[in-house]
Structure formats: C-alpha cells, structure tokens
C-alpha cells in the first residue's frame, strides 16, 4: 500500500486530491497539512468527504516520511519549502507553477520574480502523461501542468507534431471557471462581481503561454501562441478554442488521422465531433469530476483555418486528476486506477 501525504490540502485542488485518493485502492492517506487550519478536520473545508475520512490538518513541520508527497500550494511557495519537503518522501508531485518551466529566463519573465532554486528546474518531469509517459515511469519529482496549459497542449499537440497547422500563429481563447482562482477570496471572486459574468480579464500575456510553447516545441517546431482568458459563470470547467492557420492541402481526414494516431490508445482523451445531439463538440459541463479531455475540431475552408475546441474539468484533468494519473504511472499501477468516474448528466 502506497503511503501518500498532501501539503496544502485545504484548497480546491487539495480537496479534489483527497476525494480521488480516498477512493484509490492502492493508497493509504497518511497526513494532510494546512498552516491556517492546524488541528481542524478536513471536512470543514471539504464537506463532501464527511464519513469518508477522519483526517485532521497538521503543520508542515510535522510531516512524517511517506512514499509520495503531493504539494498543492499557491504559486511561488513550493520553491520556498522544496528543500525541506524533498527529504520527507521518496517521490514528489508539485501541483503549482514553480517547476513547470525549464528555462530560467522564461520562468522569471512570465512570473516576474527570481526563482529560488533554478538548479532544480531541469530535475522535474513535466507531468503531462500523453507527452511524457516514459519519463514519468522513472521520475522522482514531477511538475503538474497548469489547467489551461494542459487543455491547450493536448488539443494542439497532434496538429503541430504532424505539421497540419502553422505553429507560429496560434490564437487561443480560454474560458475560465471560478475555482481556477483558488479558495482565497479576492475582489474579483466576490459573488456580486463574479456571478453572471463573461469578463475578459487577460486579453494577452497569460502566463500559461510559456508552458504551451515549451511543450508544443517538443515537436521540433518553434511555436508561438497568444492566449486570451475570459472568466465565465462556471464553478468548475475550462473550454479552450484555438484558431490555427491550416497548412496547404490539409483536409478533414488528415486531422482525424493525426488525432487518432496520437491519442487512439489514450484512456482519458476523447475526440468529440458528431452530427447529432446537443453535445456535438466538447462541453466542460459534462466533464465535471472526471479526468477526461474532450477535443473537437472544425475546418473553416473560407478562411483556411482550423478551429480546435478542448474541454476539461480544471480540477480533474486540469489539476488533481492528472496528478493522480501521473502517480499511477510512477508507481506502476493501472493508469486509470481511481479515475474511472464517468461524469454526470444532466448536471
């Protein structure tokens, strides 16, 4: 039985990790931390887990050795504590942004602060199983992707890899739910400001751009993407719509072939493009609580462009579900173990 602890379990990502790991047949949850809620039961923050666990929060300095440590802290904190956390576990998965970007100048440009441990940047494996499965099998430390970066990268990877689109002119419109901002309240998350909104809060310069460009460039093609982020009236879910210039001569069948070739055996990616029903293209609503990434596409022949649509649950495949998938790979468990929830409809 794998002993697992969570640093920063009071937030939304930590709560989703708790939910998934409590149902995992090969995991024993050992300890969970929250510096603001030491001694409190986890069900104060995660009432959906009542009668499923009697765990209470402990302070970080009371962490005991375990097989795997999940670190779910706000951006910038993981690197502050990483030297204390590494000795406490055989392996570690960081859900924050601190170790996702390999190039130090890129990290400092996009996060506007010096990195405290640049020597570790290339020691972390980027935790996107569909691109890094073999590396994850032997990884000691893993940097879980950002939710928007995971959705965009998975949606675009086959197209860029197979040269079906111009990798220098990709424009991404990302529609973000409120849970992506985390549990800590702000003026922007105040109900009167957040409810009923379709608010463009970052028209350009979204920091996940660095991750998307880094990963798509593994194709051997230099990539440039522009991301616009819009807050929408959802609690969970993320929808990206990417506009790409088609390479000459590319047809619908070529796009199908690329997606099936890359993702035909992937357990958590579904290509959604049907001619009947209400859900003819991906919709995040029906992915709530799941680890799926649904991808659809449509060719606009008039403009010579490909419109790609990707949907995930930002706390599922976008964060905690993906982290559990990485854990399964790292420890040789079936990749889908503990992640079999199919979603609900209607919701």
152 shares a domain with 292: yes
Percentage of the chain lying above the pLDDT 90 cut:
90
Tell me the average pLDDT of the chain.
Answer: 96
The verdict on 188 and 266 lying in the same domain is yes
Residues 156, 65 within the same domain: no
Q: Is residue 161 part of a domain?
A: yes
Q: Look at 207 and 322; give whichever has higher pLDDT.
A: 322
Is residue 170 included in any domain, yes or no?
A: yes
pLDDT number for residue 153: 98
Does residue 258 carry a pLDDT above 90?
A: yes
Q: Please say whether the beta carbons of 306 and 159 come within 8 A.
A: yes
Q: Are 163 and 264 contained in the same domain?
A: yes
Q: What total number of domains does the chain contain? A: 2
pLDDT at residue 183 is higher than 90 = no
* 99 and 200 housed in the same domain: no
Question: Strand, helix or coil at 158?
Answer: helix
Catalytic residues: 147
294 plus 196 within the same structural domain: yes
pLDDT in tens, 273-304: 999 999 999 999 999 999 999 999 999 999 99
Same domain, yes or no, for 71 and 118?
Answer: yes
Taking only the tens place, the pLDDT of each residue in 94-141 is 999 999 999 999 999 999 999 999 999 999 999 999 999 999 999 999
Give me 322's structure tokens: 């993906």
What is the pTM (predicted TM-score) of this model?
A: 0.97
Domain match, 170 and 297 both: yes
pLDDT of residue 216: 98
Indicate whether 162 and 292 sit together in one domain.
Answer: yes
Q: pLDDT at position 122, please?
A: 97
Whether residue 152 contacts residue 319, with contact meaning beta carbons closer than 8 Å, is answered with: no
What the block records as the tokens of 185 is 């309240």
Tell me: pLDDT of 185 over 80: no
Contact in structure between 289 and 344 (CB atoms under 8 Å): yes
The per-residue pLDDT for range 202-252, each reduced to its tens digit, is 899 999 999 999 999 999 988 999 999 999 999 999 999 999 999 999 999
User: What range does the domain containing 6 cover?
Assistant: 2-123
Question: What 3 state SS string does 254-283 have?
Answer: HHHHHHHHHHCCCCCEEECCCCCCCCCCCC
CB 187 within 8 A of CB 242: no
| 260 band by pLDDT with thresholds 50, 70 and 90 | very high
CATH of the domain at 26: 3.40.50.720
Residues 60 and 157 in one domain: no
The predicted structure's pLDDT at residue 193: 84
Both tokens of 203, joined, read: 């028209």
Distance, first Cα to last Cα, the chain: 35
List CB contacts of 122: < 8 A, sequence separation 6 or more: 102
Q: Is 341 a member of any domain?
A: no
| Domain CATH number, residue 165 | 3.30.360.10
Structure tokens at 199: 């608010």
- Please report whether residue 326 resides in a domain: no
Residue 216, token pair as written in the block? 């798509």
Query: What is the three-class DSSP state of 98?
Result: coil
Instruction: Report yes or no on 135 lying in a domain.
Output: no
């Amino acid at each position: 039985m794998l002993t697992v602890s969570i640093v920063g379990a009071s937030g939304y990502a930590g709560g989703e990790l708790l939910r998934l790991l409590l149902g995992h047949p090969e995991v024993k949850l050992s300890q969970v931390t929250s510096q603001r809620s030491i001694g409190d039961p986890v069900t104060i923050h995660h009432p959906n887990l009542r009668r499923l666990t009697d765990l209470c929060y402990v302070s970080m300095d009371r962490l005991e050795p375990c097989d795997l440590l999940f670190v779910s802290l706000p951006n910038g904190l993981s690197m502050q504590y990483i030297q204390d956390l590494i000795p406490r576990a055989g392996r570690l998965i960081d859900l924050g942004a601190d170790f996702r970007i390999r190039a130090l100048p890129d990290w400092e440009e996009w996060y506007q602060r010096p990195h405290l441990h640049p020597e570790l940047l290339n020691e972390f494996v980027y935790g996107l199983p569909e691109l890094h499965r073999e590396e994850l099998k032997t990884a000691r430390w893993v940097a879980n992707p950002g939710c928007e970066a995971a959705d965009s990268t998975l949606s675009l990877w086959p197209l860029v890899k197979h040269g079906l689109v111009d990798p220098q002119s990709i424009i991404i419109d990302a529609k973000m739910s409120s849970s992506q901002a985390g549990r800590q309240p702000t003026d922007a998350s105040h109900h009167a400001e957040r409810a009923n909104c379709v608010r463009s809060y970052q028209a350009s310069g979204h920091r996940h751009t660095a991750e998307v460009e880094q990963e798509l460039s593994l194709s051997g093609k230099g990539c440039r993407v522009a991301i616009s982020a819009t807050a929408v009236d959802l609690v969970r879910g993320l929808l990206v719509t990417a506009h790409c210039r088609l390479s000459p001569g590319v047809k619908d069948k070529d796009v199908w072939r690329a997606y099936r070739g890359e993702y035909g055996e992937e357990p958590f990616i579904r290509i959604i493009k049907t001619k009947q029903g209400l859900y003819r293209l991906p919709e995040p609503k029906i992915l709530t609580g799941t680890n799926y990434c649904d991808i659809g596409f449509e060719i606009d022949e008039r403009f010579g462009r490909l419109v790609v649509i990707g949907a995930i649950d930002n706390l599922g495949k976008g964060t905690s579900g993906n982290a559990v998938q990485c854990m399964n790979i790292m420890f040789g468990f079936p990749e889908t173990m503990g992640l079999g929830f199919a979603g609900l409809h209607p919701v």
